[in-house]
Structures are given as structure tokens and as C-alpha cells.
Amino acid sequence: MDNYIVSARKYRPSTFQSVVGQKTLTVTLKNAIQNNKLAHAYLFCGPRGVGKTSCARIFAKTINCLSPTSDGESCNTCESCQAFNEQRSYNIHELDAASNNSVDDIRSLIEQVRIPPAIGRYKVFIIDEVHMLSSAAFNAFLKTLEEPPHHALFILATTEKHKVLPTILSRCQVYDFSRITIADIVEHLQYVTTSEGATAEPEALNVIAQKADGGLRDALSIFDQVLSFTNGNITYQAVIDNLNVLDYEYYFRLTDYILTANVRGAILLLNEILGKGFEGQNIISGMANHFRDLLVCKDEATLVLFEVGASIRQRYIEMARRCPDSLLFKAIELSNQCDLNYRTSRNKRLLLELTLIQLCQLTTPAGSDTEDKKKTLIQPIEVEAAPAAQSTPEPTRQPETKTVTTQVPVDTAPVISAPPTTGTPAAAGKSSRPVSTSFKNLTGEKPEEKQQQAEAVVEEINPFNEEDLLKYWLDYAEQLQEKVYLKNAMINCKPVLGENDQFEVKVHNQGQQDELLNAAVPILSYLRQMLRNTHIQMRVAISETNEKKLAYTSTEKYQHLLEVNPLLGKLKDEFNLTID
């Protein structure tokens, strides 16, 4: 046990060649050494565990090597290299700025800078977590950092470059270390596995690499943990059990439930996942990543963005073929929205279940419910439309009427202007912006479905004027006995004839618009019959002028009365009255 060394230390790189995932930076440093173009200060910044301190040590060892190799690496045989490997070199000094961040610590370092090296050419000072230095320590360090002795070289390392003073940054060559890719981490873990005499499934190493989030040190620490758990046989199942990672299989099952619109199955699966102790935030974020992976698997060009094992990759490709792009776009959006709202939600489980319900509704299941809904919508239109199309002409009409006989379905006769809707005509008045549409389109029924019931309908195009239109408009209003509100609306709101046999009715409020649109079918049937013109269309819109002038609510009425008599406000204040 005394001889055991963790993998992060045992397999720490000792040459530029062994550094993982930072080839661009290592090549730059090697060329600088070979060309003897060394700066006096370097700043290595980047995420944790990506090789900043390791590269600093390798760089310090290489520039002091007495007989470097032709490719810019240290020889590991000279006295300087051996002293470094045995950790007894006096040319390399490391300072942890997290615990030595005072002015006195920097002054002590400056005193050491003045002493030239006994062996080698340079005295290298590595300051780790340099952003932890105090402002006074930074200021004390500025002059030495800008003009150090020719034998001194500084390498600063930090994970938070934005906390380093700009005056420090301007005196250093800055090297940004990037996160290590999953492929590079998996390759290195495979090398470590072979060196340790263990076996590992590619999918298992891939999960470890994803869990490490771009840090090789974290990946090696997780590897040691899983290696102890499995006794040298690292499997995918053992890794997800040990690391408490949600299996891909759950997401594939959930996608099947979404594609089949199985809401109950999706909710039961969520209950099973929660029962295993997984946090809801991890579930929904993993779901968003799952849909993202499905999206990138739909095209060969974006498949390079998907970094998993070969067996799971094939399953993703097959599942992606079953998922439309529109479904994946919306699924990613819903999952991301749920992820954003999860922390602030009071009923977190209900939020997850509601998201699953919305995801299951992205696909329309094949069933009888849709057909029954279509039939329900068609029935009232057929009842109202047939009398208007088949009504007999009055004997007193002029013989010059232009008539054309054609075969059309009965339900195409009543056509009005209304806002877009997916429900019955009564729902059409919910919006104040009129848009031309037809009742045939509202039903969702295709014309070919009605061909067997098509009847001979007389299409009449008889010219009429606004006086005739107003006469029959008021005649219909007088016949209304029980619908008082509709009668008053028709009397107070007169139709104005436009082009192409269309007329517009300007109403004063939303209620009048609703009443007219709800009764649009019988009104149009009556007008078409009386005026002998089947092309008549109606448009209902709220008059913006009247809408602004008329007072409908209690508060608006009070404000209007207050303008007439300002003393009304004094009366309200004295008696402490309120407006309901």
C-alpha cells in the first residue's frame, strides 16, 4: 500500500511528447526552445486538469537540460534532468499562490531571483494559481516580472485568467490550454488500462471521459475509482452503477414513448428513474443532450460531433432515422426550457411530467379520435349550409339574374371572414384581427371525402347595392326575438359594401364581434338567399376609434364621469369609496 501511486501522478507526462490534447502549445514551446527564443514570463491558463503545471515543469526541465535531443525534448540522463526527476533541483522553484499570497511571500521569492543557478542556464519560478495573489503582492511583483535577471524565467499558471491584473497579463506570453477531447481521453485511458493489466469496454471508458468534462486528471481519478470497484474488469454497467450515471437505455425507451405518444408509459418511466435516486435536474439535462445527439446523428456531416462508442453510436443512428427534424427541434427547446425552470419550480416532479406530456404531444397518434372530431365539426356546417344552397328563388325576381349550375360539395357554400381558429365558428371571434378564411378549411376535411355526397348546387351571381344589403340585414335583425344582444348589434352596426360581393361590419367591442361571428352562418345563408348571390362574404372588425372612446369597464366609466364632473373624485375620497 505504501508503494501505491494514483494514476494521475503515476502517468503524469514527463516529456512534451506525452502531453495529451495540447499538441499546438507543446509544439510552440519546443520550437521556442530549439530556436533559443525564450520569453522571460509565461502565463498558462485553462480549465483544471488539462496539463498547465505539467507543461510548466517539462518546460523548466527541458530548458535546463545539458544535452537536449534533436526534437527539443530533454535527455533525462544529464545531472540537471536527474536532479529534476529526483525532486532535488535548485533551479526550479514552485510557489502555491493559494496559500502564499502575501507581500512577504513575493519578497522572499524576489530575493531568490537574484541568485544565479549552480547547474544549468535558467532559474525557473512556477507560481501556481497566480490569481490568488493579493493586489499588494501583484504590485510588488510587477517590477521584477517586467525586468528580471537574464537567468530568471517565470511561469504563471491559473484557472481564472480574468482575475489576473492586466498589468501582469501585458508582461507575459499567454498560452490558453483547451479542454481535452473525449477521444483523446479515451485513448489515454486505454493506454493506462493496458499498462495496469486491466480490461475495459470502450463504452465504459467513454462514460468516464464524458464525466471528466475535459479534465484528464479527473478522468484518471474516476478511472482509479472504477478500477477498484470492478477489480480490473471495467464494464459499461459497472461504470454507470458506480458513478450514478443514467443509462442510455432509459432515454431510448423514453424516445419510443414520445414517438408513439404514450404519455402513461413516459410518466411511469420517469417514476422508475426517480425511484433509482436520480436527480430531476440530471434527468432533464440528460434528455436535452440525448435529443441533441439524435439531431447530430441524422446527417453524416454532423456525425463527427457525436462522441460515443461504436455500438451505442449505431443505436443512435437508427433511432435518429425515426425522428423528424421538427420533433427534435421542439424536443430540445422543451427540454431546455424545463431545465431553466427546474430550480425555481415549487413542484419539480409535476414540471418534469408536464414536459413529458408536451413531448408526447409532438407526434399525432393514428386513431379514431381525430376522425370523430372531424365529423363533429362538419355536422353543424352541413345543417346550416344546405338550406342556403338549395333554397328556391322567389317568383318576383328579375329574369336577368346570372346563374351557373355546377357540382360542388354542400359545405363550401357558407364562407365568412374570421380570425384563424382550429375550433368551431364560435371560437373565431376571440381575436380582434379579422383574417379571411373559409368554414371548409376550419373543419379539416378534404374535398375528396365528400364526393359521394356532392349535390347539384345553383351558384348565383346577382348584383346588388348597399341599400338592398342594409334592407335584408335589418329584416333579419327584426326576426330575432330571443337573441336581443345580437339584434341590437345588427341594428347599431350597419354593413358597408365593398368589392367582389364582400361587405364589412364595424363593431364597437369584442362582445359584438363574437355575437356576429357566432351567427355568421345563418346570417349569410339568409342574405345569399334574399339577394340571390352565393358569393357574399362578411368581414367583422372592431372599430379602433369607437374602442378608444367608449367606456366598458367600471374604471373607464368612472374616469369618463370624472372628466365631466371633477367633484366626483372628491366625493370618492371623502367617503373612502372603491370601484368594483
Strands (E), 181-315: 199-200, 233-234
**Nearest to residue 152, comparing CAs of 116, 123, 127, 128?**
123
Residue 379 lies in a domain: no
**Nearest to residue 508, comparing CAs of 551, 540, 546, 554?**
546
**Residues comprising the chain, all counted:** 580
Same-domain pairing of 532 and 560: no
Residue 368 lies in a domain: no
Same-domain pairing of 446 and 325: no
Same-domain pairing of 537 and 566: no
Q: What is the C-alpha separation between 251 and 69, in angstroms, rounded?
A: 52
Same-domain pairing of 413 and 316: no
- Give the pLDDT score at 43: 92
Output the pTM of the full model: 0.56
Domain boundary among 141, 176, 211: 176
CA atoms within 13 A on the CB side of 53: 19
Q: What is the C-alpha separation between 554 and 556, in angstroms, rounded?
A: 5
**3-state secondary structure string, 166-206?**
HHHHCCCEEEECCCCCHHHHHHHHHHHHHHCCCEECHHHHH
What is the distance of C-alpha 124 from the center of its chain?
A: 47
Same-domain pairing of 537 and 563: no
Domain boundary among 216, 243, 270: 243
Residue 192 lies in a domain: yes
Q: What is the C-alpha separation between 127 and 148, in angstroms, rounded?
A: 15
- Cell 498589468, residue located: 167
For the chain, residues with pLDDT lower than 70 are 1-2, 308-311, 364-458, 545-552, 580
Same-domain pairing of 450 and 351: no
**Nearest to residue 353, comparing CAs of 422, 266, 413?**
266
Q: In the chain, how many domains are there?
A: 5
Same-domain pairing of 448 and 341: no
Residue 160 lies in a domain: yes
Residues 425 and 517 sit within 8 Å (Cβ to Cβ): yes
Residue type for 409, please? P
Same-domain pairing of 172 and 196: no
Residue 509 lies in a domain: yes
Per-residue pLDDT tens digits for 54-97: 899 999 888 888 888 887 788 888 888 888 888 888 888 888 88
Q: What is the C-alpha separation between 290 and 359, in angstroms, rounded?
A: 13
The alpha carbons of the chain give a radius of gyration, in whole angstroms, of: 40
**Which CATH number is 222's domain given?**
1.10.8.60
In this structure, what are the phi and psi dihedrals at residue 198, rounded to the nearest 5 degrees? -110, 175
- Across 19-53, b (16+ Cβ under 10 Å) vs e yields bbbbeebbeebbebbeeeeeebbbbbbbeebbbbb
Find the angle CA(99)-CA(104)-CA(107) to the nearest 5 degrees. 115
Residue 13 lies in a domain: yes
Same-domain pairing of 535 and 445: yes
Domain boundary among 176, 194, 212: 176
Find the domain containing 417 and state its range. 401-547
Same-domain pairing of 148 and 15: yes
- Give the pLDDT score at 580: 67
Residue 163 lies in a domain: yes
Cβ partners under 8 Å of residue 210, min gap 6: 182, 307
Q: What is the C-alpha separation between 99 and 42, in angstroms, rounded?
A: 21
Same-domain pairing of 74 and 146: yes
Same-domain pairing of 311 and 346: yes
- Give the pLDDT score at 368: 39
- Give the pLDDT score at 394: 45
Residue 556 lies in a domain: yes
**Which CATH number is 462's domain given?**
3.30.300.180
**Which CATH number is 88's domain given?**
3.40.50.300
Residue type for 217, please? R
> 532 to each of 419, 428, 468, 536, how far by Cα in Å?
27, 26, 11, 9
Per-residue pLDDT tens digits for 278-316: 888 888 888 898 899 888 888 878 777 777 666 678 888
